[in-house]
Structure 1
Amino acid sequence: MPGLNGKWSSLIFVVWTVSCAFIFCEYLIYYPAIFQCSWPEMDRAPSGESRDREPVPILRALILSDTHLLGAIRGHWFDKLRREWQMERAFQTAMWLLRPEVVFILGDVFDEGKWSSTKDWDDDVRRFRKMFRHPRDTELIVLIGNHDIGFHSEMNWYKLHRFEKVFNVTSATMATRKGVNFLLVNSVALHGDGCAICQAVETELLRLSQDLNCSLEADPMAEDCRDARWFPFSRPIILQHFPLYRVSDATCTGQDASPPGQRHLLFKEQYDVLSKEASRKLLWWFQPRLILSGHTHSACEFLHANKYPEISVPSFSWRNRNNPSFILGSFSSASYMLSKCFLPEESTVIAVYCSAGAAILLLLVLLNLHTVRCTLQLAGCLLAKHKYV
């Protein structure tokens, strides 16, 4: 009976250890990590001397990038299951704890959108909608990345329209929320070679620039502004997938920047970053107060022309980095503040599972030693009894 009770106790310990490790690593670990994050606080007091004006409205936006949902061609089933579960739990926990008003995903939602058949595309979209489901009072805005429709040479109208239809977005549009102008750009199309898609996007961007200038500076009665769309008096924030041109990540720092050995690698125009010409046009046309981009999978803060700040948002997928993160932004028509929220490191999850496995292995070793000792004792008793008989 004592041996039987010991076996049951060991079995209970193994089940309890495995269950606790699983529940913690797959559910609970996201809560303490995201609970530490908070929205940046901004002064809501109206400018000027009047105290009768309404407080300045603040928009709370969550920004993430490069989810890279694996597809049917290169995605191993376990890798897909693991990465999608991690992102789903992290996103749903963030929705529950932080309650953003709008979520921006800066492109490369899918890993194989550039290759997907209609059937595979529909399956990828279904899984995306399940993972990134959100409350009705939260708006989800998804931008176009090169893995969604292909690089410039792979891009075509079919893949572009397929993406735009699913996510209700166009390649160049101004999304205004609470007086904040967000310029959403399909940066894949800023190749500058006069292709049909590129030309259509540049034409729309130029028109948006003229309309915005009419709203910010020009005389509303001027002939050039009579047919313009009017936007709130606020310099825009550009959101796109590709970063603006920079030589490398050499000046980027922080725990989620590129590894030190890779920061000095030179970027290739129109592949790693936009071309110098496309970057110059965007800055000249819109003079943004902030640029938010993805694509590099690492964080970086860069100042263009000493006055246009750009922040590259790291990948949200543990497949691309050990420490994914997202950005929390508080925006008003005249100001903004940002903070970063780090998700649990995958190395921590592996360490917890390894610790649980080591505890179980140690128990089995001790149990085996106990069994051997009991067997030897029993054998000794039998020998002694046989001797006296």
Structure 2
Amino acid sequence: MPGLSGKWSTVIFMVWTVSCVFLFCEYLIYYPAIFQCSWPEMDRAPSGESGQREPVPILRALFLSDTHLLGAIRGHWFDKLRREWQMERAFQTALWLLRPEVVFILGDVFDEGKWSSTKDWEDDVGRFRKMFRHPRDTELIVLVGNHDVGFHYEMNWYKLQRFEKVFNVTSAKMLTRKSVNFLLVNSVAMHGDGCPICQAVESELLRLSQDLNCSLQGMQAGPMTEGCSEAQSFPSSRPIILQHYPLYRVSDAGCTGQDAAGPEERHLLFKEQYDVLSQEASRKLLWWFQPRLILSGHTHSACEVLHGNKYPEISVPSFSWRNRNNPSFILGTFSSGDYALSKCFLPEESTVIAVYCSAGAALTLLVLMHLHTLRCTLQCVSCLVSKHKSV
């Protein structure tokens, strides 16, 4: 009976250990990682004759990119289950701890949106809504990426309108929150070859640029400038451009940081209209809007670029562990005239694997020790029985 009791104690301990390790790696590990993150603080410049710092409306926004939810064609069921659970837990933990007012996903929400049938598309959208569910006081804005509707040569009105209908977004839109202007751009349509979708998007961007310039000039000059009488009114704040493709850059050679592209990838030359926007499209966006910040995705790695020594761009890494060992997201604090950014890293996949391997090795050692002890005990018992029979 004592041996039987010891056996069950070992089994219970092993089950308890496995349960604790599983709970930590699949649920609790996200809390200490995201708990270390905080909203960046902005230095509020003195205002008014007294020079006192007056409160200004502050917007807290979270940015992530390239979730690449696997579809029915290339997605293995275990890969789907694993990656979607990781992203769901990370996102829900971030919402609970950080309470952003608005969340932007910078494209490539789906991995196979460019190929999906109607049924597969509905299934993918349903899984996305479950994973990225959010409270009513948090707004979720999703931008289009090349994997959502296809590269330029694959994109058509059906795929594009299917995406826009689900996420209530258009290919060129100015979104204003707390006097902060966010320009949402379908960068896949910035091909510049005169295709109907490209023409429609560029025409709308040009109109938005003129309207925004009218608002800025009106605030500076007083009377409404000629041609601005019917312009849409925006707050007099330079916009923040959000899109999937980065603006043109030669490569990631100048990118640094722990989540930048690896040494073997960093010096690979980018292809225009495939890896980055063309030089012409990039010049148009910068000339039309003169943004104070650009945020983009697509490359799956982090990068900070200063275009023309005036326009900073941040490339947001992929949010999926399928694409990176160390996914992250950006926290941004914005006012009409200023902003501050910080990065929040999620648990590394290698850490989770190391915890599982260590726990597995420890349990294996425990089992071997237990078997060794049990074998010694049985040998002793066998010895005693033999002696007793000989007597």
TM-score range, shorter chain: over 0.9
User: Deviation of residue 354 (structure 1)?
Assistant: 1.1
Q: Deviations over 1:246-272 (max 9, x none)?
A: 000001000000011210010010110
Match status 1:299 vs 2:298: no
Partner of 1:385: 388
The one of 319, 322, 325 equivalent to 2:325 is 322
Q: Which residue of 1 aligns with 2:349?
A: 346
State the match for 2:263 in structure 1: 260
TM superposition shift of 1:26: 1.0
Secondary structure of the residue aligned to 1:340 is strand
Alignment of 1:1-389 (within 5 A): 1-44=1-44, 47-49=47-49, 55-217=55-217, 220-388=223-391
Contact 1:172 1:205 in 2 (8 A): yes
- Amino acid of the residue matched to residue 27 of structure 2? Y
Give the alignment's TM-score, normalised by structure 1: 0.97
Which whole-Å CA distance do the structure 2 matches of 1:57 and 1:37 have between them? 22
Aligned residue type for 1:198: C
- How far did 1:181 drift? 0.5
Letter in 1 for 2:247: L
Distance in 2 (CA, whole Å) between partners of 1:368 and 1:40 is 55
1:208 corresponds to which letter in structure 2? L
Structure 1 residues 158 and 335, CA, compared in 2 at 3 Å: closer, same or farther?
A: same
Give the SS at the match of 1:129.
Answer: helix
- Tell me the matched-pair count: 388
**Contact 1:44–1:58 (CA under 8 A) maintained in structure 2:** no
Do the aligned residues in 2 keep the contact of 1:44 with 1:57 (CA within 8 Å)?
A: no
Q: Which amino acid aligns with 2:103?
A: V
**CA–CA distance in structure 2, aligned partners of residues 165 and 54 of structure 1:** 41
Does the 8 Å contact 2:214/2:224 carry over to 1?
A: no
Shift of 1:217: 2.1
1:50, CA displacement in angstroms?
Answer: 5.3
Counterpart residue identity of residue 151, structure 1: F
Structure 1 residue 52, shift from structure 2 partner: 8.9
CA contact (8 A) 1:242 1:294 kept: yes
SS in 2 for 1:365: helix
Q: Deviations over 1:337-386 (max 9, x none)?
A: 00000001111111111111112111110111012111221232233334
SS for the counterpart of 1:328 is: strand
Q: Tell me if structure 1 keeps the 8 A contact 2:44–2:53.
A: no
Q: Structure 2: how far apart are the matches of 1:50 and 1:166? A: 50
TM-score by length of 2: 0.97
Q: Give the stretch that moved more between structures: 354-363 or 239-248.
A: 354-363
CA positional deviation for 1:387: 3.6
Query: Is the 1:45–1:55 contact (alpha carbons within 8 Å) kept by the matching residues of 2?
Result: no
Quick check: 1:46–1:56 contact (8 Å CA) kept in 2?
A: no
Do the aligned residues in 2 keep the contact of 1:236 with 1:289 (CA within 8 Å)? Answer: yes
CA distance in 1, matches of 2:224, 2:13: 79
After superposing the two structures, state which structure 1 stretch, 17-26 or 39-48, moved more: 39-48
Give identity over the alignment, percent: 81
Preserved contact between residue 297 and residue 315 of structure 2 (Cα < 8 Å): yes
Q: Which moves more between the two structures, 51-60 or 114-123?
A: 51-60
Question: Which range moves more in the overlay, 34-43 or 237-246?
Answer: 34-43
CA distance in 2, matches of 1:18, 1:26: 12
- List gaps (5 residues or longer) in structure 1: none
Query: Which runs of at least 4 in structure 1 moved beyond 4 Å after TM superposition?
Result: 50-54
What CA deviation, in whole Å up to 9, does each residue of 1:260-292 have, x standing for no partner? 121001001011000010001001111101000
